[in-house]
Structure 1
């Protein structure tokens, strides 16, 4: 006998609101007593971020949804643009934690502004943003992205990823350094000293360097390389900066397309 069917729907909704989105989906599939309560706005309002109304108000295009559940899953499945298209926002489906991607236009890219012979700004059919950055040729590669910790989910470990593609004939992207730092706590020099070694190229190559991080293919067809990770405690630690750089071996580099830098719960 399904005893949960005997409970008032409001009581069941309260019970489910203390679980997780994943638990609600499992419960509604196994018990009729949970199925109707699992549609309640009371539950899904608890799973949405506390500041979701402020986030929604910053969307490029207004969104209207008949229920909080539909809003939740829409944010999980379809990242939305906000702040004039400079930033994209989505939710991690299992937990409801916030994900952000900073567009290439909002990154600090050395030689990326008003130097079309080094970098050019183009549209790309697979990008969520109107423009991506295309590296034509540089010897000094340095890309930074910054976000305020107050925007992110609290008490959450985040991974930070450069989201990119390589064009045919790319060169000089086999080795670079990457790090993530709290701007108010860790100096550039200190962070550089403990930077990870990464490669933007999938296939292995001869190198004396050990523990080289390699890129992974994403579900959306892009590639990503982890730049680092951090724990966001109370969201009061100021800005967090992610950086990719190759500024010591001044050989030619080209063939990189940057969509943005993503901050994603681990």
Structure 2
């Protein structure tokens, strides 16, 4: 799908999106950027332009100790079929500021645009101390996993809840799990909500 001289394609028109292929399997991977048309700077977060590490024109800076919610939704049909995927938050800490500690994440496939409430059995505790360094200079932390069947017309919905602290978010990345035995469970920023 990619031109022979390209490792990835990046779009920054309507929504920031990076598409690339997993080098091991050749399966589709995506990074949905934190920018969103019509989103304005608000209480607890703001968008900044020109972050030298980001592939996108802007990133979200979260700076609210009261808590921030991050939601993202993407059609399941864009993923490679019959594949176990994982969703990762791609972020970086802000020097000399309070680091996030824990949050709750939910990753699931839903049908229609509404998730009809959180699925408690899909919730997991995200501990930011367990994050990994990436080769592109960002950090990542696993938010959850989901199973793309042979035919799936649903949407993959990702939520990060009760996240407090100060950090920069580039986006949410979706990649196939490295091994099936790593499978833990079965399942464009659409909004950032402050409470």
Interval containing the TM-score (normalised by the shorter chain):
0.7 to 0.9
- Calculate the TM-score normalised by the size of structure 1: 0.59
1:130-182 Cα shifts (integer Å, max 9, x gaps): 10000122513110111101111111110100000010133261111111011
* 1:188 correspondence with 2:112: no
Partner SS, residue 53 of structure 2: coil
Aligned residue for 2:147? 231
Decide whether the 8 Å contact of 2:107 with 2:122 is kept in 1: no
Question: Aligned-pair distance for 1:193?
Answer: 4.7
Correspondent of 1:165 among 76, 79, 92:
92
More strand by percentage: 2
The structure with the larger Rg is: 1
More helix by percentage: 1
Pairwise CA RMSD: 2.4
Partner SS, residue 188 of structure 1: coil
Decide whether the 8 Å contact of 2:106 with 2:123 is kept in 1: yes
Structure 2: segments with no counterpart, 5+ residues: 178-195
Aligned residue for 2:30? 100
Question: Aligned-pair distance for 1:90?
Answer: 0.3
Correspondent of 2:63 among 128, 136, 151:
136
Q: Take 2:40 and 2:12, find their aligned partners in 1: how far apart are those partners?
A: 23
Partner SS, residue 147 of structure 2: strand
Partner SS, residue 189 of structure 1: coil
Higher relative contact order (CA closer than 8 Å, sequence separation 6+): 2
* 1:114 correspondence with 2:36: no
The number of residue pairs the alignment matches comes to: 173
* 1:82 correspondence with 2:8: no
Decide whether the 8 Å contact of 1:151 with 1:235 is kept in 2: no
Decide whether the 8 Å contact of 1:154 with 1:235 is kept in 2: yes
Aligned residue for 2:161? 245
